[in-house]
Amino acid sequence: MPEEATKVSAEENAARMKRKRCEGSGETCSPADWIRQEDCPVGIRNVGNTCWFSAVIQSLFHLPVFRRLVLNYCLSERVLEKCKSHSEKRNIAFMQELRCLFALMVGSNRRFVDPSAAVELLRDAFRTSEAQQDVSEFTHKLLDWLEDAFQLAANGNNPEDKQNNPMVQLFYGTFVAERLHEGKIVSNIEQFGQYPLQVNGFNNLDECLEGAMVEGEIESLHSDQTMSSGQERWFSKLPPVLTFELSRFEFNQSLGRPEKIHKKLEFPQVIYMDSRYLHKNVDQTHGRRGDVKRLKDQLTVLQQKLEGYKNYGSGPTKYPLADMLQYVLEFATTKPTNVSPASVPTNPPVHTEPSSGDSRQDPFSSTQKTPIHKPFTQCRPPMEVPLQPAPHSVNEEELYFVRSCLQRWRAEVENTVNELKASIDKVSQALEGMYSDNSLCQVSYRLHAVLVHEGQASAGHYWAYIYDHANKRWLKYNDVMVTESTWEELVRDSYGGMTNASAYCLMYISDKLPYLIAEDTDDETGQALKGMDSLPSILRRYVREDNRWFQQELREWEEQFCQAQCEEVHTEKPIPEEPQNPEQEPNPEPAQEQTNEVSGEPPTDSTPAPVQDSEEENQAMATHSQPENEVSEVEIPNVGKILVRSDADGYNEEMMLTPAMQGVIFAIAKARQVFDKDGPEAGLIKAFHEEYSRLYELSQEETTPQQDPRLQHVLVYLFQNQAPNRVIERTLLEQFGDRNLSFDDRAVSIMREARSKIRLIKPEDMDMDEYLQWHDDYSMFKTVFAYLLTGLEQYQNGKIREALNYLAHAHQDNSVLLRKGERKGVDQSLIALYRRKCLKELNENAATLFKSPDANDVAEALTIMNECIIPCMHLMVRDSVSQEDLDVIELIRSCWCSYLGQDMDDSLQEKLSEFLPRVLDCSAEMVVLKEPPKVRKSPHDLCSRLTAVMESIHLTSVVTVK
């Protein structure tokens, strides 16, 4: 690829990624979500039902030998000139796009890359748009193109000679098909790539293989012929990479549609192919197969005999024979009685004893004169009747005969059962060891990748589990998400039989060929080459150019994000100017709290206001500082303090005080003596230290479910997050410079002193961008809290859809804060818990409505899924999802997948097929959360609501905050 073309391709890829990211993320996403973490593999974006492509490409890319082949793919000019056909040009173009994709997966700074260019070429070949095709068909086409492209590089003169084709050498093997014809053995050699195996009728991979090798039918991948049954097949040449295609889809003739086979099928991490499948061991294997057949027949007879003893009886209900003999023995030996139920008296005589230690006698005592009536169940004595059935009469001779027979028979049955179990264990061990001796365990293959499908035949999602050979761990590749996994998780998702997920392709690699997983090494030093060092120079430049575009995109995104945040926080209504004429009477109406133009809320105590001090302003302040004015405070529950100023004429002016203003007023009051003695500057310093100390002590208080000190003041938030001292000090100075403190001479003087000190702060002394960012974080923190509390209140009031919307926004914004620091956000577990509760309840409601005969109910179900559940699921998968969240997502998927097998109207089936792929594939579309209504987020209000909501949660009763 020429250098100029590489640069252009990098620009196109950057533009495509930027466009896709904007579409898929919405405006609330942080650029940090799209940055690759150190040593973390790169994901692949789903560009519309292409999760199968991501799974296949990831399994191939993480095979180092194949990755080297693609990255170093090169055609000479002579070969390029001879490539005239459309298919050759298409294959070359596909290889170029695949090289670029692999290069980005090696060295990109992005968390995931976009495969659109390569995918579009495949789609064009099928003449399809967004429809999800058969993954097997797509995969075969992909491998065929790769084979043809490498054939051009391997031997351009002779396309028929494929001996030097690296794809053939790596992925293709041969098997021998033998059958008996007119007394002679007729054999035929076939080549295979992905070896198909039937799942139905088998329990594990060895049974599948043996069934395919001995009697099953196997379809040739390179011809239209199908081998007849009864043949024997033997692998004559095994490829280094051995791929098994599990046939988990079949066509239901009666229903006229494909169905998925969910049967459980086990497979091992290591499989030995020479134990029974290689042609060179045909004689040895034939003898063992005869022994295996005899042992299996013997095992079947033994198991049938044991089953007869364990489930005995001629009726529909059967029991273990030994237990039945024991029960009959217990019946025969139970003491007989001559008392019949009819002879039991209604009021039996009572046997009593005098009570001791009490002046009162027992109610059943014969000496008691006054009867005390107790409930029948309390005073009724036990009847002398047997607890178990018993013979009415039995003599000693009969009892001796019955007991001896039953005891002997029971002992015989127990001995027989034990002998059968021992024989079954012995035969089973012989079967297990039939192919496990060292002579037949030399050709080992280790599991490299498992490709998984979740859903039904008509709709589903694909991902891959791939073994990280360098770090000895399993990784899960689910489109853009790459997470560390375990063998237990792989088994749960891949064996089938438990959920709608199961493996459809297994990729094993030879254990005897270390070059398959060996990393590139430097020719001179012999050291392993990693990252960008392993790329050819032209691809290295391509990746660096793409990373440069990505960095530029991040800068643009952050600038836009910060600008939007600043505009939202700082856009306020202009402060009305005070009358400039000292003789002019003040506005007779009470002073109202300023409101934010965007949210319609009072301005937060965290948002700094510009400091301006003019002569006109000083005059305005003077009109509010008459010495004869009296100032008093009135506290209103759940609202805050109101400052009441009374002038000489008896006129009262009221003004609401925020918690920050209350603290400043109290601090100024404590500094009164210092102010009177040493002047305004000393008074400001004293009041400043008083308030600073109070807030610092408040920040040291422990956070409880009912109280969070950060809500009470921005400085508590700054202290707990270890903000720089210059940010803390300026923030507190801004509090003392608040114009609303002009209620007496002392407050006005301290306010002026504070504002003059703020003006002395030079740009080089204070990074205002950093200062504003801290206040923006606090504003978002309060927004998150408001979303959380509103969501919990809505949930308790039964408004689940509204609650989910608030909680989803709270979780998203809180994730941004928590990435900056642990104390910058809210406890994420509480948000996640109630988000899961809302999702489950909403999904149950939607599932019920969907099956309703009322069209309006069905429409409501679709609205819930499309506007609430699916967007929230997609955001959950995109984030670092917890196991509890994954369980809820799997519950929702299983719920809707179960509808596929049910009979329903064609219209319902069509609606289900429209949104089910989006339920199963959580990375294939843009994520748009409905914006919630504006919320109240003043600190005092949040404190009261937090206490009420948490008390409601713990008391399990709804508490309303007025």
Give yes or no for a contact between 877 and 923, defined as CB atoms under 8 angstroms apart: yes
Position 661 pLDDT exceeds 50: yes
The whole-number average pLDDT for the span 184-191 is 83
The whole-number average pLDDT for the span 512-536 is 83
Query: To which residue do tokens 């009536």 refer?
Result: 373
Residue scoring higher pLDDT (217 or 260): 260
Banded pLDDT at 922 (limits 50, 70, 90)? low
Give yes or no for a contact between 939 and 658, defined as CB atoms under 8 angstroms apart: yes
Residue scoring higher pLDDT (562 or 483): 483
DSSP class of residue 386? Answer: -
Give pLDDT, residue 277. 84
Q: Take residue 760 and report the two structure tokens written for it.
A: 């002395």
Rounded (10°) angle between helices 116-126 and 135-154: 110
Give pLDDT, residue 648. 45
Give pLDDT, residue 105. 94
Compute the distance between CA of residue 278 and CA of residue 296 in angstroms, rounded to an integer: 22
Compute the distance between CA of residue 684 and CA of residue 664 in angstroms, rounded to an integer: 10
pLDDT digits (tens, 9 = 90+) for 684-698: 999 899 999 999 998
Banded pLDDT at 608 (limits 50, 70, 90)? low
The whole-number average pLDDT for the span 1-7 is 51
The whole-number average pLDDT for the span 654-674 is 78
Give pLDDT, residue 565. 62
Position 452 pLDDT exceeds 70: yes
Compute the distance between CA of residue 631 and CA of residue 645 in angstroms, rounded to an integer: 5
Residue scoring higher pLDDT (622 or 127): 127
Sign of the dihedral defined by the CA atoms of residues 868, 873, 874, 875, in that order: positive
Give pLDDT, residue 458. 64
Residue scoring higher pLDDT (585 or 343): 343
Sign of the dihedral defined by the CA atoms of residues 96, 102, 104, 107, in that order: negative
Any idea which of 73-87, 128-142, 454-468, 636-650 has the lowest mean pLDDT? 636-650
Give yes or no for a contact between 409 and 353, defined as CB atoms under 8 angstroms apart: no
Give pLDDT, residue 569. 53
Radius of gyration of the chain (CA): 40
Nearest to 493 by CA among 483, 480, 503, 484: 503
Banded pLDDT at 344 (limits 50, 70, 90)? very low
Sign of the dihedral defined by the CA atoms of residues 285, 286, 291, 294, in that order: positive
CB atoms within 10 A of CB 689: 14
Give pLDDT, residue 355. 40
Q: Average per-residue pLDDT in the chain?
A: 76
Half-sphere exposure of 601 (CA within 13 A, CB side): 23
Give pLDDT, residue 409. 93
The whole-number average pLDDT for the span 869-883 is 79
Position 574 pLDDT exceeds 50: no
The whole-number average pLDDT for the span 105-110 is 92
Banded pLDDT at 7 (limits 50, 70, 90)? low
Banded pLDDT at 735 (limits 50, 70, 90)? confident
Give pLDDT, residue 947. 79
Q: Take residue 609 and report the two structure tokens written for it.
A: 């206001």
Give pLDDT, residue 256. 67
Give yes or no for a contact between 787 and 807, defined as CB atoms under 8 angstroms apart: yes
Give pLDDT, residue 870. 87
Compute the distance between CA of residue 410 and CA of residue 322 in angstroms, rounded to an integer: 5
The whole-number average pLDDT for the span 622-632 is 41
- The number of angstroms, rounded, from the C-alpha of 585 to the middle of its chain's C-alpha atoms is 64
Burial tier of 743 (Cβ tally within 10 Å: 0-12, 13-18, 19+): buried
pLDDT digits (tens, 9 = 90+) for 456-499: 766 678 889 999 998 999 999 988 888 899 999 999 889 987 77
Position 542 pLDDT exceeds 60: yes
pLDDT digits (tens, 9 = 90+) for 887-897: 888 888 888 88
Longest dimension (CA), the chain: 129
Banded pLDDT at 450 (limits 50, 70, 90)? very high
The percent of the chain in helix, strand and coil, each rounded to the nearest 5, is: 50, 15, 35
Give the 3-state secondary structure of 297-335. Answer: HHHHHHHHHHHHHHCECCCCCCECHHHHHHHHHHHHHCC
The whole-number average pLDDT for the span 837-844 is 93
Residue scoring higher pLDDT (787 or 617): 787
The model carries a pTM of 0.60
Compute the distance between CA of residue 398 and CA of residue 390 in angstroms, rounded to an integer: 14
The whole-number average pLDDT for the span 126-135 is 50
Give pLDDT, residue 66. 94
Give pLDDT, residue 391. 85
φ, ψ for residue 318 (rounded to 5)? -125, 155
Measured CA to CA in angstroms, residue 658 lies from 117, 571, 589, 739 at distances of: 57, 20, 20, 13
φ, ψ for residue 189 (rounded to 5)? -100, 130
Give pLDDT, residue 158. 60
Residue scoring higher pLDDT (475 or 361): 475
DSSP class of residue 866? Answer: I
Catalytic residues: 51, 461
Compute the distance between CA of residue 761 and CA of residue 772 in angstroms, rounded to an integer: 15
The whole-number average pLDDT for the span 239-258 is 80
Position 956 pLDDT exceeds 80: no
Give pLDDT, residue 359. 41
Give pLDDT, residue 509. 95
Compute the distance between CA of residue 552 and CA of residue 736 in angstroms, rounded to an integer: 41
Banded pLDDT at 118 (limits 50, 70, 90)? confident
Q: Which residues on neighbouring strands pair with residue 197, listed in sequence order?
A: 246
Give pLDDT, residue 159. 57
Give the whole-number percent of the chain exceeding pLDDT 70: 73
Half-sphere exposure of 746 (CA within 13 A, CB side): 24
Q: Which residues on neighbouring strands pair with residue 485, listed in sequence order?
A: 474
Coil, strand or helix at 554: helix
